Structure 1
Amino acid sequence: MQPIVMPPNIIDHFYLGGERIAELRGVGMPSPRRPEEWLAATTFRAGEPGVGPSRTDSGELLRDLIAADPIGWVGSDEGPAGDNGILVKLLDPAQRLPVHVHPDRSFATSHLNCPYGKTEAWFVLATSGEQPSVWLGFAQDVDPAELSRRVDAQDSDWMLGRMNRIQVKPGDGILVPAGTAHAIGAGVFVAEVQEPTDFSILLEWSITTATREESHLDLGLPLALSATNHHAFSAEYLQTLLTYTDPNGRSADPRPLLPPAADPFFRLDLLAPGPGTAPSLPAGFAVGLVFDGQGEIRSPSGAPLSVTRGQVFAIPAGFGDWSVTGDVQFLACRPGAGWPGTLQVSA
């Protein structure tokens, strides 16, 4: 099997942005609210089953190809049908994203009939503006009843004022455990990897085109808000969620871009070969993004495949062990270690 070049799959959303995605992927900007692209995705947007899953150039859904040949595509037939085990996005916000929370696997199993929660992580590709920042977790314990009142009042200043604000730069990797209140600031262009769901609980909707009714996954706001971690992140714990990798560095080996605690959920590596080297990864499903440069993907099972800036690939397990050569920055996004055996379908 050979990797497939995936055409753009850019998503309209309730917040502004998308110019850097359009430039990278070589497409137009018909709307100012096209801030996300879902890459080689098999996930549906919550409440909108026609939005999210990626199609090939010939119009086939990637999820249908995986469902028809799970061994060839993901190396196992034990996971949910058509599931690739990961959701990868490009996010290019031109405004601050709203404060929001994602449920963990226990909450999702109990209330959303899904074995996945939505732990996620960001790798910062580029920034613009003054003090580009993200907000991650609470800096002090928050009373659940008080948080509920502030959400009702849409008191953005109160919420942001109790969160950890982190100034970011290209090369930063940030893990966002499920249950964590978080937001991404304007101008922070990221590659986002996450569990393959679209479960978002909005603590703040008034800065977007979303409404209160769209904020709680049809669970009712009191139950939805119970998915929030109300406890403060200590400085020591916060540091375990952050890492930095020189995005311009070169290496004979893949370079992990996220803290080790991300590994059970997803893996994100940079393949940026040095002269005469070919960093490699073992066989398994991967989403590949050529962020810069050009080169080749190589595998013993087939002919080399040329890659160039802006391309996105769905790389099947049947391609075998593979490597990257050339003057290129290639992001490889993979499901968590041990997937799908790590999923527990029953409550």
Structure 2
Amino acid sequence: MIPVVLPPNPVQHFYRGGDRIAALRGIVPQTDRQPEEWLAATVSRFGDPVTGLAVTADGAFLRDLVAADTAGWIGPGEGRDASDVGILVKLLDARQRLPVHVHPERGFAARHLDCPYGKTEAWYVLETEPDCAFYVGWNQEIDRDELDRRRDAQDSEWMLAHMNRLVAREGMGVLVPAGTAHAIDGGIFVAEVQEPTDFSILLEWSVTTSTREESHLDLGFDAVMPAVSTAHLTEAELATLVSDAGTRPAGSAFRSLLPAVADPYFRLTDAAAGGTSTDTRPAGFGVVLVTDGEGALVGVDGRIDVARGQVLAVPHGFGDWRVEGDAAVLLGEPGTGWPQTLRDGGVR
């Protein structure tokens, strides 16, 4: 099997952005509200059966290709279903601040949403404007009743003031565990890797086009608020969620761009062939974004030429593979031990 080159898949949203995605992917934006692209996605937006799904140049859904040959695409075993690839990768290019929101963890999703995945996620900073920041977790213990009142009052200032502010730097990797309140300033362009769902609890819907009744996963706030952590995320704990590996130039060996605690959920690595070749990546499903240069992906089953801005879905059937030429790549892959970990409860 050979990797599949995927055409651009911009996603409309309530917030402004997308010009940096368009520049990287070589497209002309249709509006100033195409701030996301879902890369090689086999899942869709919450409540929408189609939006977000990756489509091949021939018009086929990648989801259907995977379902038709699960072993060829992901290898032994099966995830949630025959089209599950264990990861969702996005480009997110925000030109305005995103709302304070939370994603549920796996236990909550299994009990309330009939899904074995929650939505732990991570960001890798591709570009940022000066002094733009992530808001991650509470900077003190939060009273649940007070949070309910501030949520109902849509007190954005209170929420942001009670969160840890983390200034973004190019090459920074940040893990956001499920249950953690978070927001992103406008001006930051990231590659986002996450569990393959679209579950969000909006604590701050007033800066979006959503209503209160569209902000709680159709479950009601009484049901979803227990999924929101009110614990103090200390400076020491926050430090374990941050990696600066990507602030240094990439080499020929694939290196992790995220803290080690992300590994059970997903992996994000990079490498640069540097005119020769990278080391070999083991067979498995992967999402490749070519961030610079030209070259080729070379596997046991052949090779495919690549160039900056391309996105490819790499099947398990491509075998062990490497990058040749002058190309530099980002690679998103499912978590260590997936899909067995999804079945045996190895990640909770």
Report the TM-score when normalising by structure 1.
0.96
Q: Is residue 251–residue 279 contact of structure 1 (8 Å, CA) maintained in 2?
A: no
> Separation in 1 of the partners of 2:18 and 2:225?
29
Following superposition, the deviation at residue 78 of structure 1 comes to: 2.2
> Separation in 2 of the partners of 1:161 and 1:246?
29
> In structure 1, what is the equivalent of residue 318 of structure 2?
319
> In structure 1, what is the equivalent of residue 238 of structure 2?
238
Deviations 1:180-227 (A, max 9, x none): 000111111000000000001101011121211111000001211221
> Separation in 1 of the partners of 2:35 and 2:49?
19
Mapping 1:50-65, distance limit 5 Å: 50-65=50-65
> In structure 2, what is the equivalent of residue 113 of structure 1?
114
Matched residue type, 1:108: A
Following superposition, the deviation at residue 261 of structure 1 comes to: 0.5
Following superposition, the deviation at residue 345 of structure 1 comes to: 8.5
Mapping 1:1-347, distance limit 5 Å: 1-79=1-79, 80-128=81-129, 130-247=130-247, 249-274=249-274, 276-302=276-302, 304-344=303-343
Matched residue type, 2:69: D
Following superposition, the deviation at residue 286 of structure 1 comes to: 0.1
Matched residue type, 1:112: L
> Separation in 2 of the partners of 1:344 and 1:246?
32
Deviations 1:27-82 (A, max 9, x none): 12222211000000001100111211111111111111111100000113422121
Deviations 1:143-193 (A, max 9, x none): 111111101000000000000000011100000000000011111100000
Matched residue type, 2:201: I
| Structure 1 residue matching 2:228: 3-state secondary structure | coil
Matched residue type, 2:311: V
> What 5-or-longer segments of structure 2 have no aligned partner?
none
Equivalent pairs, count:
345
> Separation in 1 of the partners of 2:92 and 2:277?
31
> Separation in 2 of the partners of 1:279 and 1:184?
34
1:229–1:344 Cα change, 3 Å:
farther
Pairwise CA RMSD: 1.5
Following superposition, the deviation at residue 252 of structure 1 comes to: 2.6
> Separation in 1 of the partners of 2:157 and 2:138?
13
| Structure 1 residue matching 2:110: 3-state secondary structure | helix
Q: Is residue 114–residue 345 contact of structure 1 (8 Å, CA) maintained in 2?
A: no
> Separation in 1 of the partners of 2:211 and 2:343?
33
Following superposition, the deviation at residue 246 of structure 1 comes to: 3.9
Matched residue type, 1:109: A
Following superposition, the deviation at residue 293 of structure 1 comes to: 1.6
Deviations 1:212-263 (A, max 9, x none): 1111000001211221110011111110000112456132310100000001
> Separation in 2 of the partners of 1:173 and 1:136?
13
| Structure 1 residue matching 2:227: 3-state secondary structure | coil
State the identity as a percent: 55
Q: Is residue 78–residue 84 contact of structure 2 (8 Å, CA) maintained in 1?
A: no
Q: Is residue 246–residue 257 contact of structure 2 (8 Å, CA) maintained in 1?
A: no
Following superposition, the deviation at residue 305 of structure 1 comes to: 1.5
Following superposition, the deviation at residue 326 of structure 1 comes to: 2.3
